[in-house]
Amino acid sequence: MPSFDIVSKVDLQTLDNAVNVAKKEITNRFDFRDSHVQIDLNKKDYILNLEVDSDMKMKQLIDVLISRSVKQGIDANAFDFSKDAYPSGKVLKKEVTVTNGLKQDDAKKIVKLIKDSSLKVQVQIMDDVVRVTAKKIDDLQQVIALCKQSNLSIPLQFINMKS
């Protein structure tokens, strides 16, 4: 039976490249000259640590980071900017987590979305992956289109398509 997996993962090498390109752009920008700017990527926990002088520069840094990540192929929704920046001495620090893997409640939303569509597919949650199986590949393609159309605010990838 044809099947595929729905995941939400960010490639570590692509993320590292996006961070390095953002660092390079920041060092070349005139408005960041002679100011403290630091971007660190914790590759183990998928956390970005940002440090800048002012709130305005934090917003600009986030804008550069998102634009460079999108050009590298990383969805902007993969970054969680919900935590506020906090002052630490003369600098502002912000911790940005990068989504890696589907959370249980997000997987349940996807399963509910697919089951409500009344397509003839079977859906099951396997850790941080949602597996969809059907008798026809056309049904699977309709599920992919449905997931892309719905506004789930999480980046989804469709992998392991088997017929």
Region of residue 89 (phi > 0: left; psi between -120 and 50: alpha; otherwise: beta)? left
Total count of residues recorded for the chain: 163
Residue 15: in which H helix or E strand, if any? helix 12-28
Strands 79-80 and 91-98: antiparallel
Give me the amino acid identity at 4: F
C-alpha distance from residue 41 to each of 15, 45, 47, 82, 93 (Å): 9, 9, 6, 18, 14
What CATH number matches the domain at 3-8+102-162, 3.30.2270.10, 3.30.390.30, 3.30.70.860, 3.40.50.1360? 3.30.70.860
* Architecture in CATH for domain 12-98: 2-Layer Sandwich (3.30)
| Contact criterion met (CB below 8 Å) for 157 and 3 | no
Q: How far apart are CA 97 and CA 141, in angstroms?
A: 31
Report the pLDDT value the prediction gives residue 35, as an integer from 0 to 100: 87
Instruction: Quick: pLDDT tens for 22-73.
Output: 999 999 988 888 888 999 999 999 999 999 998 999 999 999 999 999 999 9
Decide if pLDDT at 153 tops 90.
Answer: no
Domains 3-8+102-162 and 12-98 agree in fold: yes
E strand residue ranges, 99-144:
121-126, 129-134
Cα 146 from Cα 117, distance rounded (Å): 8
pLDDT number for residue 16: 94
pTM of the model: 0.82
Per domain, the residue ranges of the chain are 3-8+102-162, 12-98
pLDDT at 31: 86
Which pLDDT tens digit goes with each residue over 101-113?
Answer: 888 998 999 999 9
Whether 106 contacts 155, CB under 8 Å: no
